[in-house]
Amino acid sequence: TSIDQSVPVTVFTGYLGAGKTTIILNTVKQCRSDKYKIVWLKNEIGDVEVDSQIAKENNIASREMVNGCICCVLVGMLGDALEQILATEKPDRIIVETSGSAFPAPIAWEVRKNPKLVLDGIVTVIDVLNFPGYKDKSQTAKMQAKYTDLILLNKTELVDERKIDSVLDDVLELNPDTPRIQTIQGVVDVQVLFGLDSKLFQLTDAHSACEQEHTHDDHCRHANSTSTNMAAAPAATAEAAELPSAPVSHLDITHQSREVDLISIRTTESIDEQALTTFVTTVETDVVYRVKGVIRLSNGECKLLNAVAGRYTLESVQAYSGDTKISVMGDFSASFVKIVSAKLSLQLTEQNIQYIPRLR
């Protein structure tokens, strides 16, 4: 397959709640046409498929991958998902939205090893409102800012110029060379996002990458079992070297578990809207980073919840008949489960609420 015939892929990275989904939705709407089809492939921490409901509401072709990170545990499944999209959807472009804890390199390699695809660009979304709070907590957030073709400084309408300048200083320290664009309400011209012709993370020899970068045989076996003929470009070698202490690498299958604690709720109970909004707006932002869910409210309505650092949106959903599903991500212990249950006035058991601690 020639490059001219290959389907371009744009990969969006960015920390939890940076605004990737909003930017993608706005981008797809700009491109909506009977003659140009975009398919959105979404990866999410936990098992709550929220964005597939958003896609249905907006008549967007989509796939959602949950319960793992597509840059490591699910990287082989990512290749299968991309192949399935090519076969069934016949897209003109694929947009891949990573989870907030994904490293870009393995995703880029998975795209590059398919001759029917071409990596058009890696776009990193940075939340200028909350970046100062998470840049020192998440090594992944730093990696996302360093290895990218374009940086979008999102939510600029929520802060003053001084805050924007402060975030710019942080970003320039991490990555002085990559173009940066400020966005307002998650809107970016597609002419800026598409056609980046990424040169990041080229394919070389996977075996030499394992020998150079991985100190444990398990990691080499993982690399060889999920991808063939892959290796680190110079940037990727630097990425591996900067990650937390060995044996963590850009293919480390535990890295997502090092980022956040997770509470996953699935229940037939309805939730009072006032109790829900009080919880997401009053909980400490250094305890809960992100809350997402499909919520059945006590008034009979069904809504999509998206909450980040005390700010939230609730959007009505028409075509949903399932249970209430909520993911709570942050930095908390198992005892926080009872607090969440009490705040939402839910009578939850081990069967419908799960606590997954991060590795410490």
pLDDT, tens only, 227-251:
323 333 334 344 444 433 322 344 4
Q: Are strands 117-127 and 7-13 parallel, antiparallel or unpaired?
A: parallel
Average pLDDT score over residue span 270-289: 93
Q: Is the pLDDT of residue 214 over 50?
A: no
Question: How crowded is residue 236: how many other Cβ atoms within 10 Å of its Cβ?
Answer: 26
**Given this model, what pLDDT does residue 233 score?**
36
Question: pLDDT band for position 93 (50/70/90)?
Answer: very high
pLDDT digits (tens, 9 = 90+) for 313-343: 998 887 777 889 999 988 999 999 999 999 9
Residue 103 has which token pair? Answer: 């490293």
CA atoms within 13 A on the CB side of 221: 3
Q: In terms of Cα–Cα distance, which of 231, 226, 235, 236 is closest to 205?
A: 231
**Given this model, what pLDDT does residue 50 score?**
64
Average pLDDT score over residue span 266-271: 93
Any idea what the Cα angle at residue 294 is, between residues 292 and 298, rounded to 5°? Answer: 120
Q: Is the pLDDT of residue 72 over 50?
A: no
Q: Is the pLDDT of residue 310 over 90?
A: no
Question: pLDDT band for position 125 (50/70/90)?
Answer: very high
**Given this model, what pLDDT does residue 333 score?**
92
**Given this model, what pLDDT does residue 143 score?**
84
Q: Is the pLDDT of residue 222 over 50?
A: no
**Given this model, what pLDDT does residue 31 score?**
86
3-state secondary structure 213-273: HCCCHHHHHHHHHHCCCCCCCHHHHHHHHHCCCCCCCCCCCCHHHHCCEEEEEEECCCECH
pLDDT digits (tens, 9 = 90+) for 290-307: 999 999 999 989 999 999
**Given this model, what pLDDT does residue 226 score?**
33
Q: Of 250 and 118, which is predicted with more confidence?
A: 118
Q: Which of 89-93, 139-143, 224-228, 348-352 is least confident?
A: 224-228
Place of tokens 């999920």: 226
Q: How far is CA 37 from the centre of its chain?
A: 22
Q: Which of 74-78, 84-88, 193-197 is least confident?
A: 74-78
Residue 319 has which token pair? Answer: 């075509």
DSSP code, position 28 = H
Q: Are strands 7-13 and 93-97 parallel, antiparallel or unpaired?
A: parallel
**Given this model, what pLDDT does residue 76 score?**
62
DSSP code, position 158 = G
Q: Of 123 and 250, which is predicted with more confidence?
A: 123
**Given this model, what pLDDT does residue 58 score?**
65
Average pLDDT score over residue span 11-32: 90
Average predicted confidence (pLDDT) for the chain: 79
Q: Which of 39-43, 138-142, 276-280 is least confident?
A: 138-142
pLDDT digits (tens, 9 = 90+) for 24-44: 999 998 887 778 999 999 877
Q: Helix, strand or coil for residue 77?
A: helix
Residue 329 has which token pair? Answer: 């991500």
**Given this model, what pLDDT does residue 241 score?**
42
**Given this model, what pLDDT does residue 83 score?**
93
**Given this model, what pLDDT does residue 201 score?**
86
Q: Is the pLDDT of residue 45 over 50?
A: yes
Q: Which of 66-80, 93-107, 226-240 is least confident?
A: 226-240
Question: pLDDT band for position 88 (50/70/90)?
Answer: very high
pLDDT digits (tens, 9 = 90+) for 189-210: 999 999 999 999 887 733 344 4
